[in-house]
Structure 1
Amino acid sequence: MVKPKVKDYDGYKSFQYLEANKDYKDYKLAKEIGRVEPFVYPVSEEEEEQVQQILQEDLIISLHEHTFVTPENVDEIMEFRRQGRDWTGYEGLSVSGLDVIFENYMDGTAFITSNAGWKWNDVIHDLGIRYSDFAHQDMVIKAESIEDIYRAKRENKIAFVTSLESATQIENEIDRVDVLYGLGVRVMGIAYSEANSLGSGLREKNDSGLTVFGHKVVERMNKLGMTIDVSHCGDQTTRDVIEASSKPIFMTHVGARALWNISRLKPDDCLIACAEKGGVIGIEAAPHTTLTEQHKDHSIESVMEHFEYTANLVGIDHVAFGLDTLFGDHVGLHHAFVEALSIGSSHAGVSFDEVPYVKGVENPSEAYLNVVRWLVKHGYSREDIRKVMGGNIMRVLKETWVK
C-alpha cells in the first residue's frame, strides 16, 4: 500500500514568533481539518493506490486558492480584516496533497485603510505580512521561477505562487506592475468586480472592454513575465485581453455559463478563445458558483460537471483546477462580504438552494485529493490526470514566465 502523501510539517502556526494580545489581537480561528464532517470521495483500494501514486509522482497544482484561516465566529471577520494580519492554514495544507498553490491572499477584502479593498498600500501591507510569516516556517517556498516549483516537489514542500485577482491597485501607474513583479507577484488579474482603469469587471452592466491603458498593462505583463488572469473580467474585457496578449493567459477560477447562467462564469466563446491562444481554464468551486441544472446542490459532482463540459468544449490540454477554497466558513464569509465581492449581482435572476458548504471540496485539505479520486474513479488516463492536475499549468508558465 502506498503511504498517503503528507508534507514535512513541524507544527508551526502563523505568527507564533509574536506574542498574542500584545503584538496582535488574538482571535479563535476555524479548524483547518474537521470543521465540517470530512468527506473522502469513494474509491476502491486499488483506485486509492493509483491516487496515492499520482500524488507521490506528479505535480499537483491549485491554480487559485486562498489559504488563510477565518475566525471561527465569522461575524468577527470585518475587525479581523481591519487588523491586516492573516493566518495561513499550514496544518491543513500539509495533508492536502498539493505541491503548488497559486495563492491569492485577501486583497479584495484588504480593509486596513478602506472598506473598498484594492488600495495600493493595503496590498503591499498584505503581501509583506504574509511573507514575514513564511520566513519563519520551512514547509512553504515562495516561488518566483519554474525551478522553485520543481524544488518544492523534490523537497516535499509546497510552492506558493503569489497571485493577485485584480490590477485595480496600480491605478494609472504602469510601473507599479514592475514593482509588484519585483515583490514576487507572478500572476495578476486585469479587473475584479468593478471596472478600473484597465477594463470592466464582471458586475458592470456596460462592459466597454479593455482600455488604452489596459492594453499597455497587458503588453507590460507580457514583457515582464507575469501571467495574465481574466477570471473576474466582464465578457468583452475578457475577449479583448485574450486578443491583445501575445502570450497564453489563465482563467484561474471559472466555470461554464452554458451550465449555469451567472456572470461569474464564462460563456463558451471566451472559453474557446482562451484555449485557442494556448491558455488554461481553472475550474472553480467557491460556494454557489459552479452549480448546474443537474446538480443544483453545490458539491464536487457539480464542479466536475463543469470540468467535463469545459474539457469537451476546448480539449483536455486547456483545463485545470483553481477550486478557490479556504479554511473556515466560506458561505458565511460570502454573506459578510456580499457587496465587496459582488455576489448578489453575479447571481441576479438565478435561484438556487444555499448549501452550508460544498461537499467534497470544502477546504484545501480535502479538495484536491477528492478531485484526483474522482478522476481515477471515472476512468481518466494517467496522462490526462497529469495534464489537468498540473501539466497544463506548467506549459503556460514556461511560455509566460522569464524562466
Structure 2
Amino acid sequence: MLDPAAAYKGYTAYDYLEAGKDYKEFTYAKQIGRVPAYEGLGLSSAEEERTRKLLAEETVISLHDHVQVFPEDMGQLRDHIRQGREPTGYEGLSRSGITAVFDNGMDGTCCISSDAGWKYQDVLFDLGVRMADLAHQDFVIKAESVKDIERAQAEGKVAHVFALEAATMIENEVDRLDVLYGFGVRQMGIAYSEQNTLGSGLKERGDGGLTYFGERAVERMNKLGIAIDISHSGDRTCVDVIKASTQPVFITHAGARGLWPTNRMKTDETIIECAKRGGVIGIEAAPHTTLSPQHPSHSLESVMDHFQYCVDLVGLEHVSFGPDTLFGDHVGLHHAFSSNLSISQAHGHVEYEEVEYVDGIENPAEEFYNIIGWLVKHDYSDDEIRAVVGGNTMRVLKEVWV
C-alpha cells in the first residue's frame, strides 16, 4: 500500500478555476493544527508505533464526516455556503489515515436558494459542483462500490462516498432516489430532526413512525443499493425502518441515550434492533453530543464512553465510528445554524458544559489516530481494532451495496 502523504500531490479545491473571478474567495480554516494537539493518550513508544502501524495498514472508514473546509471567520458562513462551492479538505485527508469517508455534505445548511435548506435543486447543484472538483484531481476517489474502497486502500488514496443526512429533498417523488443514486449517493438518512414525507425526525413532540411513502422509499433504497441511515430519525421511525428494510441499516453517527439522555442519542431498543438485523452504529463526536456522566466536558474520553457502552450492549461487531467532524469551527457552525439543525430541540432540557472544540476528535485529520491510540491503550487486540475502525462497516456494505 502506498503512503497517502506521498500519493497526495498538493491539489487544493477548485484549482482549475480562478479565485475572485469564477468564485468568491474566502480565507479558510487550517486543516492541520487549528487547535492544540491532543495530549491525553499517554502512549508509550511501543504503543505509538502500534497505533501508527494500524492506522497505516488497516481499512479505516468514517461512517459520517463533513470533509469540507469552512471559513476562518464564521460570520462569513452563510455567504460562503450560498455560492454552493464548498472546498474539500484534501490536505487534511492526506494526513488522516482514513481509507474511506462517508461525506455528508448536504443537510440543513445546504442553503443556496433558501435559508430553509433541503431543496432538491440545491442538493443536486452541491453534488454536481463537488463532483466536478473531484474529477480534476487524482488523490480522492469518488467511491460508489466496495471495489472503489479496496482500490483506495491498495493505492494509498482516499475513497469519498457521497451521503445525505436525510431524504427530505425527494419530497413525494420516489424516483428522485434513482437520480441521487446516479449522482453517486450511496448512503441516505430517512429524516433529519424535522418530520418529512418518509417519517419523523428526532426533535418532534410525537413520532408517527415510518409512513407508507417511507416504506416505498426504503424498498427503493434496498433495490438501488443505498445504505440507510437512521441517526436523526425519531425512536418509532427508527425501529420501523429497521423492520421494513430487507438489508441491515446504519446508525452512522450517534451515541447511547442510556449514557446521555438526549433525543440525539439512540435508545437501547433501537441499538439492539439495529444489531439484531446485522446493522452497525457509528459513534458520534460532534460538539456537545456524546457526553457522559463520567466525562461531561466533551472530549475523546466521553466519546469512547459511548463506544464502550454500545460494545457492552450489542457486541463489538456492531459498533464503529462516525465522528461527524469538519475542518473549521464546528461550534461556530452550530451557533450559526442552530435553527436549521434543531440543536436546542435535539438536546431538550439537558444541561451541558459548552466547549470550544472536542479535544481529541476535532477534525478528520486527527480523529482516527486518537481513536486507534485509545483502543491500543485500553488493550484491544489488533483484530478487534480492525473490526471497529472499518471491518464491521465493510461487512454491511458488501451486503447492502449492489
Partner of 2:9: 10
Q: Does 1:239 align with 2:242?
A: no
CA contact under 8 A between 1:7 and 1:95: conserved in structure 2?
no
The structural deviation recorded for 1:53 is 1.8
Q: Distance in 2 between matches of 1:338 and 1:192?
A: 13
Contact 1:231 1:254 in 2 (8 A): yes
**Residue of structure 2 in register with 1:19 after alignment:** 18
Deviation at 1:164, TM superposition (A): 0.6
How far apart are the structure 1 equivalents of 2:374 and 2:195? 37
> 3-state DSSP class of the match of 2:392?
helix
Q: How many Å apart are 1:332 and its aligned residue?
A: 0.6
8 A contact 1:4–1:52 mirrored in 2: no
Which 5+ residue runs of structure 2 have no aligned equivalent?
Answer: none
Q: Distance in 1 between the 2:6 and 2:320 partners?
A: 22
Q: Distance in 2 between matches of 1:395 and 1:4?
A: 25
| Aligned counterparts of 2:153 and 2:31: Cα–Cα separation in 1 | 23
Kindly indicate whether residue 303 of structure 2 is the aligned counterpart of residue 303 of structure 1: yes
CA distance in 2 between counterparts of 1:201 and 1:230 reads 9
Residue 32, structure 1, aligned to residue 31, structure 2: yes
Asked if 1 retains the 8 angstrom alpha-carbon contact of 2:209 and 2:236, the reply is yes
Task: Determine the C-alpha separation between the residues in 1 that align with 2:129 and 2:42.
Answer: 39
Q: Distance in 2 between matches of 1:114 and 1:7?
A: 41
The whole-number CA distance in structure 1 between the counterparts of 2:13 and 2:143 is 19
- Secondary structure of 2:228's counterpart equals strand
Which amino acid in structure 1 is aligned with residue 17 of structure 2? L
**In structure 2, what residue type is equivalent to 1:278?**
G
**2:68 corresponds to:** 68
Deviations 1:280-331 (A, max 9, x none): 0000000000001110100000000000000110000000000000000000
230-239 or 99-108, which deviates more: 99-108
Q: Which residue of 2 aligns with 1:194?
A: 194
Aligned to 1:52: 52
Residue pair 1:6, 1:97 contacting (<8 A) in 2 also: no
Classify the secondary structure of the residue corresponding to 1:364. coil
Give the count of matched residue pairs. 400
* Contact 1:107/1:126 (8 A) holds in 2: no
- The equivalent of 2:81 in structure 1 is 81
Alignment of 1:269 onto 2:269: yes
Displacement of 1:108 in angstroms is: 2.1
Task: Determine the C-alpha separation between the residues in 2 that align with 1:347 and 1:196.
Answer: 20
CA contact (8 A) 1:203 1:346 kept: yes
| Superposition pairs of residues 115-134 of structure 1, within 5 angstroms | 115-134=115-134
Q: Deviation string for 1:108-138 (max 9, x for gaps)? A: 2111111111110000000001001111111
Q: CA deviation at 1:79?
A: 1.0
Q: 2: distance between equivalents of 1:107 and 1:292?
A: 27
Q: 1:280 to 1:358 in 2, by over 3 A?
A: same
Query: In the aligned structure 2, how far is the partner of 1:339 from the partner of 1:73?
Result: 20
Larger mean CA deviation between 358-367 and 105-114 belongs to 105-114
One-letter amino acid matched to 2:220: R
Q: Partner residue of 2:154? A: 154
User: What is the alpha-carbon root mean square deviation over aligned residues?
Assistant: 1.1
- Aligned ranges 1:342-357 → 2 under 5 Å: 342-357=342-357
CA distance in 1, matches of 2:354, 2:3: 33
What is the CA-CA distance between 1:7 and the residue it aligns to? 5.3
8 Å CA contact retained: 1:5, 1:55: no
Deviation at 1:56, TM superposition (A): 2.6
CA contact (8 A) 1:62 1:323 kept: yes
Q: 2:38 and 2:171 mapped to 1: Cα distance?
A: 43
Alpha-carbon distance, 1:5 to partner = 6.5
Secondary structure of the residue that 1:6 maps to in structure 2?
A: helix
Residue 347 of structure 1: how far off its partner (Å): 1.3
Report if aligned partners of 2:194, 2:202 keep a CA contact under 8 Å in 1. yes
**Sequence identity of aligned pairs in percent?**
59
Closer, same or farther: CA 112–272 of 1 in aligned 2, 3 Å: same
Q: Distance in 2 between matches of 1:42 and 1:368?
A: 16
CA distance in 1: counterparts of 2:147 and 2:367, whole angstroms: 26
Structure 1 contact 107–122 (Cα < 8 Å) conserved: no
Does the residue aligned with 1:47 lie in a helix, a strand or coil?
Answer: helix
Task: For 1:375 and 1:185, locate their aligned partners in 2 and report how far apart those are by CA, in whole Å.
Answer: 31
Q: CA deviation at 1:4?
A: 8.4
The match for 1:212 is 212
Determine the C-alpha separation between the residues in 2 that align with 1:289 and 1:172: 31
Quick check: 2:55–2:368 contact (8 Å CA) kept in 1?
A: no
Alignment of 1:105-144 (within 5 A): 105-144=105-144
For 1:221 and 1:86, how far apart are their aligned partners in 2? 27
Superposition deviation, residue 106 in structure 1: 3.1
Q: Is contact 1:64-1:252 (8 Å) kept?
A: yes
